[in-house]
Amino acid sequence: MAEQTQDDDRAAVSDAASMPCPSCGARVGGRSGCQALFEGLVAKAWESPTRASVHNLLVDAYAMQHSEEYGRSAKSYAAHLVGLCCGVEASEERGLYWAIARWLDGPARLTRPSDIPGRGGTTIADVREPADEADYPDLVRKWARDVWAAYTSQHATARKWLAEVRTEMLRSGSKGHRR
């Protein structure tokens, strides 16, 4: 009888661990398991230059797969959508990413786009344990490209906003670096 109870307990734990996140679909223990995994990867960025190199891209990909939570306001949604656009399409423009926050601090008047239903098939579960630590940045970039592709209907908006960031950067003479 005790053996059956242990088997049932293990099955229940296994079932809970394989519950999909309602936002991104990752089978990591539902929404709370997904959040815990994200927080763990954020913490590892402080320990590893390899992970730190793609930290902002990780945050923006995750936020856009969980936009109902991380993009509640128009400005937070725009910050992550434009950050994702910048990370995927303009990663070579040093400083542009940091100019996004200054643009959002200004008089930008934004209308929050609607959440989209499908937010990409690659999830945080696919980047959590790379076979080799050196592969981590490529996994995060692949994930970000997949999430960005899911947002095709909002590419024009994100690109327009990113162009406004560039214009503001040029107008202010800023190189986009944090002060």
Instruction: Encode 122-140: b = buried (16+ Cβ within 10 Å), e = exposed.
Output: bbbbebbebeeeeebbebb
Contact between residue 123 and residue 21 where contact means Cβ atoms under 8 Å apart: yes
pLDDT digits 0-9 by tens, 97-130: 999 999 999 776 899 999 999 999 999 999 999 9
At 168, which amino acid appears? E
Contact between residue 70 and residue 63 where contact means Cβ atoms under 8 Å apart: yes
pLDDT digits 0-9 by tens, 123-133: 999 999 999 99
Predicted TM-score (pTM) of this structure: 0.87
Question: Distance between CA atoms of 31 and 27, rounded to whole angstroms?
Answer: 9
Q: 2: part of which helix (H) or strand (E)?
A: helix 2-17
pLDDT digits 0-9 by tens, 43-75: 999 999 999 999 999 999 999 999 999 999 999
pLDDT(1) > 80: no
Between 80-84, 102-106, 134-138, 170-174, the lowest mean confidence (pLDDT) is in 170-174
